[in-house]
Amino acid sequence: MLTAPIFTQGHSILAILQCITNYPDKTNQENEQETRYYHKGIIRNIVYRKYLTEGDLRSCGVTKWPLRLCLSSPPRAPTPSSNFFCEPHTFPESILTPKYIYTMARLSFLLLGALSTLSGFATASNSAVKDLIPTNFDEVVLAGKPALVEFFAPWCGHCKTLAPVYEELAQSFAFAENKVTIAKVDADENRSLGKRFGIQGFPTVKWFDGKSDKPEEYNGGRDLDSLTAFVTEKTGIKPRSATAQKVVSNVEMLNDASFKTVVGGDKDVLVAFTAPWCGHCKTLAPTWETLANDFALESNVVIAKVDAEAENSRSLSKEQGITGFPTIKFFPKGSTEAVAYSGARSEEAFVKFINEKAGTHRAVGGGLDNLAGTIAVLDEIVTENVAAQKLDKLVTEVKKAAKGLPDKYAEYYVKAAEKLSKNEGYAVKELTRLRKILAKGGSAPEKLDDILSRSNILQRFVGQDKRDEL
C-alpha cells in the first residue's frame, strides 16, 4: 500500500480526480462540475443531485472536512471553509501507477485551462452589470451615487439562477447609469469585500445609498418585478427596458407586513404561495397574470402572490403552513381564515372559483357574463309586469324594491322602468344602440363594463317575443 501526499486547498486537483474515479458512471461534464465544487470545499454528487454527506466523503478517503456542508434545500449556499484540507489518502499500490498519475495530472491541467478560458469569456461579455473589485469598489459605490450590489460565487446554483434576471435588471436601468448603479462582486475571488460586508451566503444583495458603507440588505423576491420595484422605490426611477415595461402587473406581491394589511379587510383575496425554483410555479405564472388582468376592474378582488422563500415572507409562509408549491388559498373579505383551492390551474377554473366566492360575474378574458349588473329581486318584478304589460305597476314596484339597495345599478332599473312606461319601444331601441357601440369597439374597459351591465338589465325589460328577434 502507498500513501498519497497531503493536498492543501490550493493543490488538491490530483486528490480530487482520485476521489472522482470512485464514480465512473459520471460524464466528463459532471466530473468537471464536481471537480469545481470539490476545489471550493464543497462536493456534490451530480448523478443523485445531492451534496455528499460525511459518510459519502469518507468512502472517498476524505477523513476531515469542513463542518459547513452545502445543503440543497436552503436558498443560499454557505461560504466554503477557508481552511479546507484533505487527510492523507491511502490507495492500493496497483492504482498509483506512473500511467495513472500522468493521466490524472494531464486532466488537471486540461480542466484548469478550460475553467480559465470560460472565465475569460465571461469577463469579456457585454454585460450591463458593473463588476466590482477591491480597487474600484469605493470609487463606484461610495461616490454619492446609489448602487444595488450582488455578492455572488461562481459555483453557487442560486447565483446562476439569478444571473439572467439581474442582467435584465441592469439593462432596464442602463439609461440612468449616472443616477444608479447595478453591480456585482465575485465574493469568492474577492474575499476581502465579502468579509468587509459580512457576507455569509450567496447570493446576497445589498443596497448602498452612495454615501455610507453601511448598506441595507435586500430581502425581497429574486424575480425581475420585485427587484425593479425595489430600485424604483429607492430612486424614483422607472425602467425603460421593453421587457421590464411590457406589462404593469396586476398581481399584488405580498410579504409578512403587507399580507396583514390586505387580508382580512374589505376585499376578497386569492393568494398563490410560490418559490423561484418551482417548475409548477413557473407554469402557473402566466395564467396568474392573466387572471389578475381579468379581475383588474373588480375593486373588491385582489389576485396576489407570495414568494415563500424571500426573507420578508418566510414567517408568513410558516404561519400558513406552506409545505409545497404552488399553494393557493382564498381569503374572504373580513376574514383571515383561508379556503384552500384544490381545483384545476386553468384560467377558466380560477375565474369560476372567484365568481362563486366573491359574487362577481367575470368571464374568461376579462369581460362580463350575462348576469353582470342584474339584480335578482328586481328581475323578478320586471319579468312579471312586462309580461302582463302592467307598466305603471312596474314603475311603482321597482321603485319600492330598489329603495335602499346598495347595488349601483338599482337606480338604472328605476330609470329604465320610467322610460318604458312612457315609451313601449324604449328598451328595444336602447338595447340596439348599446349593441352597436359594443360592435364598433374602442371603448375603455370601464365603459365597456358599464355598457355590458346595462345591456344585461335591458334584456329583462324586453318581452320574450321581442328578445328572440334581437
Using CA atoms, how far residue 353 sits from 304, 452, 453, in Å, is: 15, 22, 21
Q: Taking the CB of residue 28, how many other CB atoms lie within 10 A of it?
A: 10
Give DSSP secondary structure letters for 16-55.
HHHHHTT-TTS-HHHHHHHHHHHHTT--EETTTTEE--HH
Among 19, 70, 86, 156, the active-site one is: 156
Distance between CA atoms of residues 206 and 158, nearest Å: 16
Question: Tell me, what amino acid is at 70?
Answer: C
The dihedral through the CA atoms of 21, 23, 28, 30 has a sign that is negative
Q: What is the DSSP letter of 237?
A: P
Strand partners, 207: 148, 216
Q: Phi/psi at 272 (nearest 5 deg)?
A: -110, 120
- According to DSSP, the β-strands at 268-274 and 301-307 are parallel
Question: Tell me, what amino acid is at 123?
Answer: T
The three cell numbers of residue 308 are: 415563500
Q: By the 8 A CB rule, do 77 and 153 touch?
A: yes
Question: Tell me, what amino acid is at 394?
Answer: L
Q: By the 8 A CB rule, do 231 and 169 touch?
A: yes
Distance between CA atoms of residues 88 and 5, nearest Å: 6
Q: By the 8 A CB rule, do 265 and 212 touch?
A: no
Q: Phi/psi at 299 (nearest 5 deg)?
A: -65, -20
- Closest Cα to residue 458, out of 448, 447, 470? 470
| Residue 368, helix vs strand vs coil | strand
CB contact set of 457 (below 8 Å; sequence gap of 6+): 373, 374, 409, 412, 413, 416
**Residue 19: active-site member:** no
**Residue 70: active-site member:** no
Q: By the 8 A CB rule, do 362 and 352 touch?
A: no
Q: By the 8 A CB rule, do 142 and 132 touch?
A: no
**Residue 159: active-site member:** yes
Among 19, 70, 86, 159, the active-site one is: 159
Q: Phi/psi at 342 (nearest 5 deg)?
A: -130, 15
Q: By the 8 A CB rule, do 208 and 149 touch?
A: yes
Give DSSP secondary structure letters for 190-223.
-HHHHHHTT--EESEEEEE-SS-SSPEEP-S-SS
Among 19, 60, 70, 281, the active-site one is: 281
The three cell numbers of residue 181 are: 448603479
Annotated catalytic residues are 156, 159, 278, 281
